[in-house]
Amino acid sequence: MRDLLRHPTGVVGASLLLVIFLAVVAGPSLAPYDPQSFHPQARLQGPSATFWLGTDQFGRDVLSRILHGARATVLFGLGATLAGVSVGALIGITAGVAGRWIDSLIMRLLDGMLAVPDLLFTLLIVTVIGSSTGNAMLAVAVAFSPGMARIARSAVLSVRTRDFVQAAIARGESRAYIIGAEVLPNTIGPVIVEASIRVSFAIMLGATLGFLGLGAQPPSTEWGLMIAEARQFMFRNPWCVAAPGLAIAIAALGFNLFGDALRDILDPRGRR
Amino acid sequence: MNAAYFVRRLVAVLLVLLTVSLAVFVITMILPGNAAVMILGEYATEDQLRALSEELGLDRPWHVQYLGWLGGMLAGDWGMSMRLSLPVTTVIGEAFWRSAALAAGALATVSIIAIPLGVAAAMRRGTGLDLGIGLFAYLGTAVPEFVTATLLLIFLAGPSSGLFPAGGYIPADKSLPGFLYHMVLPVATLSLILTAHIVRQVRSEMSDVLGSDYVRAARLKGLSEREVILRHALPNALAPAVAVISLDVGYLLGGILVVEEVFAWPGLGRLIIYALQNRDLPVIQAATLTLAATYALSNLVSDIVIAVLDPRVRYA
């Protein structure tokens, strides 16, 4: 933690995340207006003292909608990543520990899944199971798991030949003990680093699905959906697109920088 | 470069495609509503549905259907699009080259911009230039394609500026300037994100190389800075950069889906979204396989390029 505060990237990343989490936790109570209430006298306005980030085509306050949408957008990214990482890490660790033909079989299957771009993969899944926030989350999780499995597997493989594992084998420890007490704790680092960077991709993927009409559905205030709804009126009020876009960028950037800093700190070899 | 390595990689690519074909087939099998319902519409009678299902072979076991479909794909018979009443090969063939034009434009732009920027940032580490490039790189990777595309649309194609067309496509053989003119904004969107990604990679590889012993040796030998960079440092930093560019083809293919949708560019991405919305199964299957094949082959090509650029790579 102290290392993180000394790391310039880490400080910027952590501050951005602080802003985002403030919006997630307290957003609805900070919002100056009800996100769904119309102000017919003030439609498609630019930023002003009354509406800090302007209003949309129904005269709804953009700032309030963004503050409310933080939950839908950020929790989506966290949830999808958590699910994808857990499943992926489980598959990867199984492959790495089992070795031989099980490993080869799993890896060939993963290679196939990795050959389909993430976005197309999620689109295919959402088309099969129907478009909703929950299904989009599931789809992103499934699309993430092959990549996570690969990272977890290579972490297991690099730990397996290390001296402390060899020592445990020589001591005659049980297989379960070696895996649980020696291998797993040392594979967690790379998995956490990758996961924190992946949250930013998950947020962007979720917003893209919302934008294409395949994720969150109206009247949700998910940020991608906000941009999709504002598109018809974008020339009259660019703020309706720019403000949620900036919000997505802040969230994605926060997780990205935080993950990079975490990698530098957890991997001393990469430290300069 | 030995032949055995090449053959092994090729077999791996074929294996990947086989896996993808199976996965895509299974996904389209479990899509709600089968092909017979799609063709006849929801008011068809039971008898009609059964007759057509038999004619299309939908009553056979799934593995027989899969092998039949796979055989057709290999023989070049990709079936008929259910919505467009055209052979799938024709539909995909046309769309593929339009998307390829966008991808080629983006990759060319990125190579011209990202590599010099990355080298410049590595040579002037810690200066304002380096910080500026770094900031741009981080911001670029944090803004999704659809946001960049929409913002470019507002500011460069809006009624107030009107510099570029807001979308659409003009065939190159009808008007080459028109074709290129419509390409500018989609290519710019794709390039922005890729550049951000690759600049970071080139910078970090280049700073590693610049700190290495052989670059110091080259400097001590009295070579000019220009020669040190171009002859000794850059070639060694490029191999990893090519690896990243080839992985970025995956992002590029995903980005093409969104960018084509926003700018109404009738390529593979727009075709896939159309096919998914309309449950056009033969098109979904063929288009997904085409994208996966492109990705797998581009990885193969990059492996070969890396082996040529960096003779130390072992063919394992």
Tokens of B126: 């810690």
Task: Quickly tell me which residue has 């997780």 as its tokens.
Answer: A255
pLDDT given at position B311 = 66
pLDDT given at position A121 = 87
Q: Report, as an integer, the average pLDDT of A107-134.
A: 84
pLDDT given at position A272 = 38
A212 and B18 within 8 Å at the Cβ level: the answer is no
For residues B169 and B98, the answer to whether their CB atoms sit within 8 Å is yes
- Identify all chain A residues contacting B253, using CB atoms and an 8 Å cutoff: 117, 120
Task: Quote the CA–CA distance of A204 and A209 in Å, as a whole number.
Answer: 9
Say how far residue B307 (Cα) sits from the centre of its chain. Answer: 22
pLDDT given at position A270 = 45
pLDDT given at position B70 = 85
Q: Tell me: the pLDDT tens digits for A219-244?
A: 888 888 888 888 877 777 788 788 88
CB pairs under 8 A between A and B: 131
DSSP track, B157-197: HSTTT--S-SS----TTT-HHHHHHHHHHHHHHHHHHHHHH
Burial of A18 (0-12, 13-18, 19+ CB in 10 A): exposed
Task: Quote the CA–CA distance of B64 and B69 in Å, as a whole number.
Answer: 9
Task: Quote the CA–CA distance of A233 and A82 in Å, as a whole number.
Answer: 36
> Which residue out of A119, A234, A237 would a mutagenesis test of the B interface target, given it has the greatest number of B Cβ atoms within 10 Å?
A119
Residue in B31, B151, B288 closest to A242 by CB: B151
- Identify all chain A residues contacting B273, using CB atoms and an 8 Å cutoff: 123, 212
Burial B11-30 (b: 16+ CB within 10 A, else e): ebbeebbebbbebbbebbee
pLDDT given at position A81 = 92
Q: DSSP 3-state assignment of A103? A: helix
Q: Does A107 touch chain B (CB under 8 A)?
A: no
Task: Quote the CA–CA distance of A234 and A242 in Å, as a whole number.
Answer: 9
pLDDT in tens, chain B (316 residues): 567 777 888 888 888 888 888 888 887 777 665 666 666 766 777 777 777 777 766 777 777 888 888 888 888 788 777 777 788 888 888 889 999 899 999 988 988 888 888 888 888 777 778 888 888 888 888 888 888 888 888 888 777 777 777 777 888 778 788 788 888 889 999 988 888 888 888 888 888 887 788 888 888 888 887 888 777 777 777 777 777 777 778 788 888 998 998 888 898 989 998 888 887 888 888 888 888 888 888 888 877 877 777 666 554 4
Residue of A53 and A144 predicted with greater confidence: A144
B23 and A111 within 8 Å at the Cβ level: the answer is no
A268, pLDDT greater than 60:
no
Residue of B55 and A126 predicted with greater confidence: A126
Q: Nearest-CA distance from A232 to chain B in Å?
A: 11
pLDDT given at position B1 = 55
Name the residue in chain A with its Cα closest to that of B299: A115
Residue in B20, B147, B273 closest to A115 by CB: B20
- Identify all chain B residues contacting A112, using CB atoms and an 8 Å cutoff: 15-20, 22-23
Name the residue in chain B with its Cα closest to that of A13: B138
Q: Report, as an integer, the average pLDDT of A126-147.
A: 87
β-partners of residue B80 are: B87
Residue of A203 and B123 predicted with greater confidence: A203
Burial B135-148 (b: 16+ CB within 10 A, else e): ebbbebbbbbbbbb
> What ipTM goes with this model?
0.80
pLDDT given at position A271 = 40
A117 and B251 within 8 Å at the Cβ level: the answer is yes
pTM given for the model = 0.83
**Contacting A residues, span 117-156, partner chain B, CB-CB under 8 Å:** 117-120, 123-125, 127-128
